[in-house]
């Protein structure tokens, strides 16, 4: 579980905002989530992000899905249907998403 502390100053008033990332350790939703592991800009080579499913499985580190779910991957994704929110986001981005 990680915490991020942000400080913002607005007209002599200091506002403290704390967000906490909750790692989902169950498979109660039973969906396969889509994780963006990197991208390729039009004029360049592949840029990897710090969000690799394989690395997450090997090192037991959390990853973030397109829908916002944060979890440590470890289950067989072929056993579950694709998360409807992840599918909607990926489709809106023009990505090809397999049926299932």
C-alpha–C-alpha distance, residues 22 and 56, integer Å: 16
Q: How many Cβ atoms sit within 10 Å of the Cβ of residue 73?
A: 19
Give yes or no for residue 54 having a pLDDT over 80. yes
Find out whether 82 and 97 touch, Cβ atoms under 8 Å.
yes
pTM of the entire predicted model:
0.64
When comparing pLDDT for 41 and 11, which is higher? 41
Once rounded to an integer, what is the mean pLDDT over residues 79-83?
89
| Per-residue model confidence as pLDDT tens digits over 22-47 | 555 555 568 889 898 888 888 888 88
Q: CA dihedral defined by 68, 71, 77, 80, rounded to 10 degrees?
A: -70
Once rounded to an integer, what is the mean pLDDT over residues 38-58?
85
Q: Structural domain boundaries of the chain?
A: 2-92
Give yes or no for residue 56 having a pLDDT over 80. yes
**Residue 44 corresponds to which tokens in the numbers above?**
């360049």
């Amino acid at each position: 579980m990680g915490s991020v502390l942000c400080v913002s100053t607005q007209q002599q008033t200091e506002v403290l905002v704390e967000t906490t990332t909750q790692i989902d350790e169950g498979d109660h939703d039973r969906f396969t989530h889509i994780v963006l592991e990197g991208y390729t800009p039009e004029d360049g080579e592949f840029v990897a992000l710090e969000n690799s499913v394989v690395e997450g499985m090997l090192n037991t580190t959390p990853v973030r899905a397109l829908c916002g779910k944060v979890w440590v991957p470890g289950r067989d994704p072929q056993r579950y249907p694709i998360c409807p929110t992840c599918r909607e986001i990926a489709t809106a981005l023009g990505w090809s998403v397999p049926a299932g």
